[in-house]
Amino acid sequence: MRLQITKLILALTVAGLISACGNKTEEAPDKMVRAGIQRMMKEDNQFNFTSTIKLELGNQIGESTAHKSSEVIVQQANGAEQGSAASVISEELAASVASEEFLSSDEYKMKKLAEELSAYEKHQMESVNRVVRLISKSVSIPVTGAVDFKKGLVEVIPEFRYENKNALISYKFPLYLDFNNLSMYVDASAFTNISDVINGENNPQWVIGDRYVQLALPQDRVQHLPVADLLKSLPKAIDDGYTAIESSAFSKVDVDEFGKSLEAKFQVRINSTYAMSMKYDVAMLQSVSQALKQAAAKADSDSKYQPQDYAVLQNIVDGLVSVYSGDVETANTPFGYYMAQMKNKSIPIIYNFYFDSKGRVIGMRSQTALPLDEMKELKGPINIDYKIQYEYTGSPKFTMQPTPQNSVNIGFRLGLY
């Protein structure tokens, strides 16, 4: 009897342990995402990835909106300048000229002009939409690459791909980032092969050949920049960014078809907007700025980096905070103006995170629409669908292997330093 009770207690204990282990990933959705990202940054931080970007034209807008965008207004000639070719007749004038037999010669010509402009607008709108549909059906952007956070190396290989009946066009632009010396290498052979032929005789100094194009800061500047400290602050900064998003935006959902193709066990969705995304960016950048400030306060005369070295990076980060905050002061720049416009955008952005049984993020998907307020001729938004899959490995495969011998630093040739 005692033996049976002991077995029962043991069985219940084991069952409890198994249940506890099984519930390890069964936590709050926001915590699942944060834990998964932290694991990617700190532990499983050597991996390859494959992804795709697809664009497509969304649903047609309502008839009333379409009518409004094609309506014509004519400005009366009472000393004011006549409007542009896109201006059209107001409703009051249109009603007064409904019957052609009562129209004066000038009014009749104006009515015909308005009809021609309306027909031209309609033709242009249809042409633009046909082009967008062609792009959405035939153009894709596959992206592959490798990440090695431990060594400070990242490779990204975007490919512009057009595929249709009897047609296949592909351009690849491999990029290699080395954070140790703040260098970017580009395999620009898709273009340099042509430019080399053109420059071969007249400008031989611009012949690239089979070498990578390098753009790097001078090493005398790099050695005074605490980039390593900045990189160390990223895991916490990214976590602070996700913490800034309300937990109610996170939810567990059934694994979709893309997740099933990854053999995902769990899926978490974030219902975000452009404004919420900017809130994440600001929180992340502010966290980096604070980390640099704290590191500068600890620096002394014997430290590798001095407070003024940290101040250089902190000023750059603080400038980005102002831009992503949509401050009025930064709106005078093109990017600052764009971010200021995005500050109040409620356009939805849906993020999906896919997890394996260990709680690792094995894939992500984001879906949103381009804010095209000025593109009234489109019959709907341009939707963006981005999917990415991670392949964790202790030795990620890099396509590019840049060295001083197989690279040319164009910074010197451009006179940047």
Q: What is the pLDDT of residues 16-51, one digit of tens each?
A: 444 444 444 558 999 999 999 999 999 999 999 999
Instruction: Report d(CA 241, CA 321) in Å as an integer.
Output: 13
Residue 205 is given by DSSP the state G
Residue 378 has what pLDDT?
62
28 Cβ contact partners less than 8 Å away, ≥ 6 residues apart:
247, 250
- Global pTM value: 0.74
Maximal CA-CA distance, the chain: 112
d(CA 149, CA 146): 10
Lowest mean pLDDT among 34-38, 134-138, 329-333, 386-390: 329-333
Residue 97 has a pLDDT of: 46
**Residue 115 phi/psi, 5° resolution?**
-65, -40
Query: What is the separation, in whole angstroms, between the first and last Cα of the chain?
Result: 86
Quote the CA–CA distance of 391 and 68 in Å, as a whole number.
Answer: 50
Kind of pairing between the strands at 382-392 and 46-57: antiparallel
Residue 379 confidence (pLDDT): 62
Question: 362 burial class (0-12, 13-18, 19+ CB within 10 angstroms)?
Answer: buried
